[in-house]
Amino acid sequence: MCRQNAKKGHGGRGWWGQEGSRRVTCLCSDLAALAGWPLAGVKPPRLLFSFLSCPRVRAPGCRMNCRSEVLEVSVEGRQVEEAMLAVLHTVLLHRSTGKFHYKKEGTYSIGTVGTQDVDCDFIDFTYVRVSSEELDRALRKVVGEFKDALRNSGGDGLGQMSLEFYQKKKSRWPFSDECIPWEVWTVKVHVVALATEQERQICREKVGEKLCEKVINIVEVMNRHEYLPKMPTQSEVDNVFDTGLRDVQPYLYKISFQITDALGTSVTTTMRRLIKDTLAL
Amino acid sequence: METDLNSQDRKDLDKFIKFFALKTVQVIVQARLGEKICTRSSSSPTGSDWFNLAIKDIPEVTHEAKKALAGQLPAVGRSMCVEISLKTSEGDSMELEIWCLEMNEKCDKEIKVSYTVYNRLSLLLKSLLAITRVTPAYRLSRKQGHEYVILYRIYFGEVQLNGLGEGFQTVRVGTVGTPVGTITLSCAYRINLAFMSTRQFERTPPIMGIIIDHFVDRPYPSSSPMHPCNYRTAGEDTGVTYPSVEDSQEVCTTSFSTSPPSQCVFTVTKAHFQTPTPVVTDTLRVPMAGLAFSHQPAALGVGSADLAYPVAFAAGLNATHPHQLMVPGKEGGVPLAPNQPAHGAQADQERLATYTLSDGAHCAATPSSSEDTETVSNSSEGRASPHDVLETIFVRKVGAFVNKPINQVTLTSLDIPFAMFAPKNLELEGADPMVNPPDSPETESPLQGSLHSDGSSGGSSGNTHDDFVMIDFKPAFSKDDILPMDLGTFYREFQNPPQLSSLSIDIGAQSMAEDLDSLPEKLAVHEKNVREFDAFVETLQ
């Protein structure tokens, strides 16, 4: 399935988990049996047929490999939040548009996105984010959880956050919607502890410079103009965009994080979903 | 070339490119104003926000951009360039960045103008917003104010990268393919921020009035004038920018002054406060004979948007000593310390030394006096606290984009005559300030000693801290945009208050023994007046 390829970028478990995909396969066969398709010789409806014959589901325009970018930063403990927010906001700045207002004849107009500068307190750095308090709050919440998890893990101070943009593909009953990621940004964080004030001062500047480089990297990727979901019709807009915010409309995204040990395997897998999406069968 | 573009698409495309160019200029200039930019999102389309982004239009900037474009659009060989440069209060200037909007011949015929091109241009503007905060000039521009200003210039034509010094770097913001060509937006920025002042250090007459022809020497085909990047509309207040230090490292040559060249390392320092704080430009290497720096803040047209040029660079000063006030701030640096005259200073050194910059009340025109001290005292209006502590700290601080370790420089290692008498470094935290000069007869605090201009300053050379750790006081949690002064500034300003007069021992004060001797007489007098005292006490009860 497409999703299996998306797992590549995570370095950890894909968000389905291993159980997830197995469950779906079992489900297919069970359903076929349940259906007890009585009409021999007649092709089953396409829905069942496609599941029975080929479990790969391709949404139109979906790429088999979703784009995956990895960024790494080394920061001091108190810089974690700001560094993560800087990266996430920079990515979301590029992946948000104004609110769509659909008019008749299938046309739509787009609202305006405002921006604002944010100065970091612990890093010599300023980043630009969209002017949306809701979005900022949501990001701060999850980054705060990540920071706490890092702190409480007591490990080497290694962790990563993933920002995944996905599209929803509506499936017919009884299957719930699929989430097909098309871009995943992974930020790996290494927390260092510094002893003296002078080191901290140097760290402020160094991390500021590093974040400047990261922003340039992000912009480079954005500039490649690679796959973006097609602009949806009014009925499909919720499959592509997060229309729940009041003032801006980012692409559907979810953020998760993991605390890892030095080998990169997951010590505790903690999933936080901002958009609920489950395979609850 | 035959384009398959229909006329409507062509018109749309031209319009998009034109407004994209104008918005690009707005974004770049606004990013160099020195303030944080904040615009609001609006869910309902207003119809006037190009590319669905809320980017304010500063009228003067639009005017300049339109003037430069002169009805044309960027095309092959005709790029629109925005040049960002820095100009110090002494008149030295340096190009920092050149932003180029270019068009090349690679066409993308298949692309849909009204939809894909528009959205990609919008994405490119967002990238520009992000990148403009990331180049080194951003941090410099946030700290501009009294010591230097950031200027912009728009020109159209060939890109001129000569002024950026050696080893400049480029960053590409993005490209957008269109049916008529590919639009590319990139930035070339200077890495090496040190430059040599080509001004000879002698008493120069004050520069009065508006400098218009400063860039006449530039080898540019279109010598459009430079404009300061800090327009302020009426009623708008700049946010507090942090007092901070920006240092240049070593000597390198530039040549854009009309004065004969001379060896001097120039350091750009800056303090941009709402409250007055002493700040001064420093030189590390200074021939003693006849220095002239300008300490007048570069007064800019605050609130007067009709001043299109940086105004009023300072009178030369007779500061015949190396001194430095570095104001640490968010970016780190050294703690503030007012300077101390090194030697043989005039009587008005005190005033000179204790000057502070006036805060937001920039004077819009040069003070009429040609005397440095007068200009200094003019600018010292409104200063909050007289700084009687006159000490100097020399620190070299590395800017974010220079690959050099921080190292402290002491005066003794500098090539200054009379270095012995120059004030020495001191440690910020905890340590006592200047030890009493050993050969000073007074026992008063070093603060007082240094008040009396020169005498004690020579003696203070006893302390040479060759290695000290400059620890910056940077209270990250206490920054307050509402109050003009943050905790760090407050601390630095008031950390060396003058000693209470009652605690000081005057030269003519009686010694302890004398005090004791006079006690019996005093007692006798009091006993005589016992009755009066008793009556008084009764009234109290």
**Residue A169: pLDDT band with limits 50, 70, 90:** confident
* Position B125 pLDDT exceeds 90: yes
Return the pLDDT at B481: 57
Return the pLDDT at B336: 37
Q: What is the mean pLDDT of residues A75-96?
A: 94
Average pLDDT score over chain A: 76
Distance from CA of A116 to the nearest CA of B (A): 4
Helices (H), chain A: 2-6, 17-35, 46-53, 80-94, 133-153, 197-223, 237-240
Return the pLDDT at B436: 39
Say if CB B391 and CB B340 are below 8 A apart: yes
pLDDT tens, residue by residue, B348-361: 433 433 333 333 33
Return the pLDDT at A67: 86
Strands A108-110 and A266-270: unpaired
Residue bearing the bigger pLDDT, B20 or B466: B20
> Which residues does chain A have within 8 Å of residue B469's beta carbon, measured at their own beta carbons?
197-198
**Residue A85: pLDDT band with limits 50, 70, 90:** very high
Return d(Cα A73, Cα A146) in angstroms, integer: 15
Cis peptide before A174 (omega within 30 of 0): yes
Say if CB B123 and CB B115 are below 8 A apart: no
Q: Which chain A residue has its CA at the smallest distance from B400's CA?
A: A205
Return d(Cα B16, Cα A133) in angstroms, integer: 30
Return the pLDDT at B107: 84
* Position B466 pLDDT exceeds 60: no
Q: What ipTM was reported for this prediction? A: 0.74
Q: Identity (one letter) of the amino acid at B188?
A: A
> Which residues does chain B have within 8 Å of residue A212's beta carbon, measured at their own beta carbons?
134-135, 400
Q: Which chain A residue has its CA at the smallest distance from B475's CA?
A: A121
Task: Single out the residue of B31, B487, B330 nearest to residue A208, CA to CA.
Answer: B330
> Which residues does chain B have within 8 Å of residue A218's beta carbon, measured at their own beta carbons?
130
Return d(Cα A258, Cα A270) in angstroms, integer: 6
Scored b (16 or more CB within 10 A) or e, B384-415 reads bbbbbbbbbbbbbbbbbbbeeeeebebbeebe
> Which residues does chain A have within 8 Å of residue B52's beta carbon, measured at their own beta carbons?
97-98, 110-113
Return the pLDDT at A49: 38
Q: Which chain A residue has its CA at the smallest distance from B30's CA?
A: A117
Return the pLDDT at B224: 58
> Is any Cβ of chain B less than 8 angstroms from the Cβ of A216?
yes
Of A90-104, B210-224, B469-483, B485-499, the least confident:
B210-224
Torsion angles phi and psi, residue B7, rounded to 5? -65, -35
Helix H or strand E encompassing B522: helix B512-528
Return d(Cα A150, Cα A187) in angstroms, integer: 14
**Residue A177: pLDDT band with limits 50, 70, 90:** confident
Which residues 7-66 of A have a C-beta within 8 angstroms of B?
none
Return the pLDDT at B482: 59
> Which residues does chain A have within 8 Å of residue B106's beta carbon, measured at their own beta carbons?
none
Scored b (16 or more CB within 10 A) or e, B345-373 reads beebbbbbbbbbbbbbebbeebbeeeebb
Return d(Cα B307, Cα B228) in angstroms, integer: 9
Please report, for residues A169, B25, B311, the alpha-carbon distance to residue B270 in angstroms, rounded to integers and kept in the order given: 56, 26, 17
Return the pLDDT at B28: 94
Torsion angles phi and psi, residue A262, rounded to 5? -60, -25
> Is any Cβ of chain B less than 8 angstroms from the Cβ of A140?
no
Parse chain B into domains and list their residue ranges: 7-196
Return the pLDDT at B500: 75
Return d(Cα A113, Cα B54) in angstroms, integer: 6
pLDDT tens, residue by residue, B356-385: 333 333 333 333 333 443 333 333 333 434
Say if CB B150 and CB B84 are below 8 A apart: yes
Of A63-77, A107-121, B434-448, the least confident:
B434-448
* Position B463 pLDDT exceeds 90: no
> Are residues A219 and B39, on separate chains, in Cβ contact within 8 Å?
no
Q: Which chain A residue has its CA at the smallest distance from B170's CA?
A: A216
- Considering only the beta carbons, identify the residue of A109, A131, A225 that sits closest to B39: A131
* Position B60 pLDDT exceeds 60: yes
Distance from CA of B452 to the nearest CA of A (A): 35
* Position B29 pLDDT exceeds 80: yes
Helix H or strand E encompassing A102: strand A100-102
pTM of the predicted model over 0.80:
no
**Residue B92: pLDDT band with limits 50, 70, 90:** confident
Q: How many degrees, rounded to 5, is the angle at CA A264 between CA A259 and CA A266?
A: 45
> Are residues B472 and A201, on separate chains, in Cβ contact within 8 Å?
yes
User: What residue has token string 């103009």?
Assistant: A225
Return d(Cα B29, Cα B68) in angstroms, integer: 15
**Residue B506: pLDDT band with limits 50, 70, 90:** low
How large a percentage of chain A has pLDDT more than 90?
46
Average pLDDT score over chain B: 61
pLDDT tens, residue by residue, B200-211: 333 334 334 433
Q: Angle at which helices A17-35 and A46-53 pack, to 10 degrees?
A: 130
Instruction: Specify the CATH class of B7-196 in words.
Output: alpha beta
Q: How far is CA B493 from the centre of its chain?
A: 18
- Considering only the beta carbons, identify the residue of A112, A128, A204 that sits closest to B46: A112
* Position B185 pLDDT exceeds 60: yes
How large a percentage of chain B has pLDDT more than 90?
17
Helices (H), B4-161: 7-31, 59-69, 118-132, 136-142
* Position B63 pLDDT exceeds 80: yes
How large a percentage of chain B has pLDDT more than 70?
43
Say if CB A21 and CB A7 are below 8 A apart: no
Say if CB B406 and CB B382 are below 8 A apart: no
Return the pLDDT at B511: 64
User: Which residue out of A76, A82, A117, A249 would a mutagenesis test of the B interface target, given it has the greatest number of B Cβ atoms within 10 Å?
Assistant: A117
Return the pLDDT at A265: 56
pLDDT tens, residue by residue, A113-142: 999 999 999 999 999 999 999 999 999 999
Q: What is the mean pLDDT of residues A192-198?
A: 90
Q: Which chain B residue has its CA at the smallest distance from A130's CA?
A: B41
pLDDT tens, residue by residue, B298-334: 333 333 333 333 333 333 333 333 333 333 334 333 4
> Which residues does chain B have within 8 Å of residue A202's beta carbon, measured at their own beta carbons?
406
Residue B126 CA neighbour count, 13 Å, CB half: 31
